[in-house]
């Protein structure tokens, strides 16, 4: 039986983080969660997840989601990244694309949509 795919969810909204983690774990993924940029980078270095779900706007964190992705890309250019935000900000979208973010989704997302994006990510990394 193959190892479950590792996913790292980074979001400073704890309720979203917990709910997303639970939903993805029910689908058989190995899910790691981080409420801030420092924890996210620590978990990434230790676990090397294949799929990333990164909130862009994290005001209580040292780095925002774009900066987290920038740090991750210095270590790994192959992980599949879905950027998440409440604001449709073209400048942020462009910055994420330059760092090879694969997808961009607006909050609040419905979890059916999220699972479709995760399925797309699984196909892309397989």
Sheet harboring 6-10: ordered strands across?
30-34, 6-10, 51-55, 80-85, 103-106
Name the phi and psi angles at 100, rounded to 5. Answer: 60, 35
Q: State residue 9's pLDDT score.
A: 97
Report the number of distinct structural domains present in the chain: 1
Residue 111 covered by a domain? yes
Residue 1 covered by a domain? no
For residue 105, give the 3-state DSSP assignment: strand
Q: State residue 91's pLDDT score.
A: 81
Q: State residue 35's pLDDT score.
A: 96
Indicate which CATH number applies to the domain containing 45: 3.40.50.2300
State pTM to two decimals.
Answer: 0.93
Residue 86 covered by a domain? yes
Residue 88 covered by a domain? yes
For residue 6, give the 3-state DSSP assignment: strand
- For tokens 């005001």, the residue is 59
Question: Tens-of-pLDDT digits for all 126 residues of the chain?
Answer: 678 999 999 999 999 999 999 999 999 999 999 999 999 999 999 999 999 999 998 888 999 999 999 999 999 999 999 999 877 777 877 888 888 999 988 888 788 999 999 999 999 998
Residue 80 covered by a domain? yes
Q: State residue 1's pLDDT score.
A: 62
Degrees, nearest 5: CA angle 115-27-105: 20
Residue 56 covered by a domain? yes
DSSP string, 33-94: EESSHHHHHHHHHHH--SEEEEES--TTSSS-HHHHHHHHHHH-S-SEEEEEESS--HHHHH
Domain housing 103:
6-125
């Amino acid at each position: 039986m193959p190892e479950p795919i590792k996913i790292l969810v980074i979001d400073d909204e704890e309720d979203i983080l917990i709910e997303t983690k639970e939903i993805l774990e029910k689908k058989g993924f190995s899910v790691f969660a981080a409420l801030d940029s420092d924890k996210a980078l620590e978990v990434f270095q230790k676990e090397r997840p294949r799929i990333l779900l990164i909130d862009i706007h994290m005001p209580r964190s040292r780095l925002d989601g774009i900066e987290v992705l920038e740090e991750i890309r210095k270590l790994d250019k192959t992980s599949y990244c879905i950027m998440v935000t409440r604001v449709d900000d073209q400048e942020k979208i462009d910055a994420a694309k330059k760092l090879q973010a694969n997808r961009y989704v607006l909050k609040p997302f419905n979890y059916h949509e999220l699972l479709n994006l995760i399925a797309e990510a699984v196909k892309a990394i397989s």
